[in-house]
Amino acid sequence: MSLQKMLEYQKKDIAFYRQEKDLKESEERKRAMLCKNKFIESNTALQELSKSLKGYFASLQKISTRISEIEAMKEELSANTELKSEESFSEYEKRLLDFEKQVNDLSKEFSKITKAIADAAAQNRALNDRMDALNREYMNSTQAYNKKKAEFDAKTKPIRDELDAIAKDIEPAYLNRYLDLRKNKKMPAYVCYMDKNCGACGMDISIEVDKKLQKTGDIAECPHCGRIVYKM
């Protein structure tokens, strides 16, 4: 009796399942999900950009500190160096040039990072603008989808009420297995065992299920597609 009720439930549910599938695949929902995914992608990019900016500013701070240290070393060198000979002057000049080269290299790196910060700031503004636009589009698409879903819920309420009534007479083991297969988009979930084959995937499963299907109403799982086969 439970199998008969299960098949009755499935027959009615398939019509509802198809309408539900159409709703899930509606353009309104697709647009909303697309906007949501793009928003998430943009937000991830924004977070990565924020990390990069923090790194840039930390690098600028280090460069500024290092330049200040070198300038202090230059002043100390000038104050403490006695130019008593050509050799001492040559050494002084050599060290001074080395300091200046370091400052010059650091200044170039400073300019390079400053440009990177400006570029990142522009990207930041562009991403924020994009996210604002995506959020507006998502809200509009979601509103349109919610309206369509409300219409769907009202239209399908009678069949859902019928399904709820039938479900009360179905053993939980039958119904739960059905709902699992339905969730995994394997519909119909219960199929007839015909000529040693699964009524859904068509595979010969006699070796695996014959001993389990001895009388009308017996059920077994198809080892290939996972659906439930039953004996007529």
Q: Residues 44-78: pLDDT tens digits? A: 999 999 999 999 999 999 999 999 998 898 888 77
In the predicted model, what is the mean pLDDT of residues 117-126? 95
64 domain-assigned: yes
Number of domains in the chain: 2
Q: Which residues contact 220 (CB under 8 A, 6 or more apart)?
A: 193, 208, 209, 212, 213, 228, 229
16 domain-assigned: no
User: Can you count the helices (H) and strands (E) in the chain?
Assistant: 5, 4
Above 60 in pLDDT, residue 1? no
What band does 232 get if pLDDT is binned at 50, 70 and 90?
confident
CA atoms in the 13 A half-sphere facing the CB of 55: 8
Same domain, 33 and 77: yes
Above 90 in pLDDT, residue 99? no
Above 80 in pLDDT, residue 89? no
- Cβ atoms of 198 and 205 closer than 8 Å: yes
Range of the domain at 155: 22-168
Above 70 in pLDDT, residue 84? no
Same domain, 156 and 96: yes
Same domain, 156 and 193: no
Same domain, 137 and 223: no
In the predicted model, what is the mean pLDDT of residues 191-202? 95
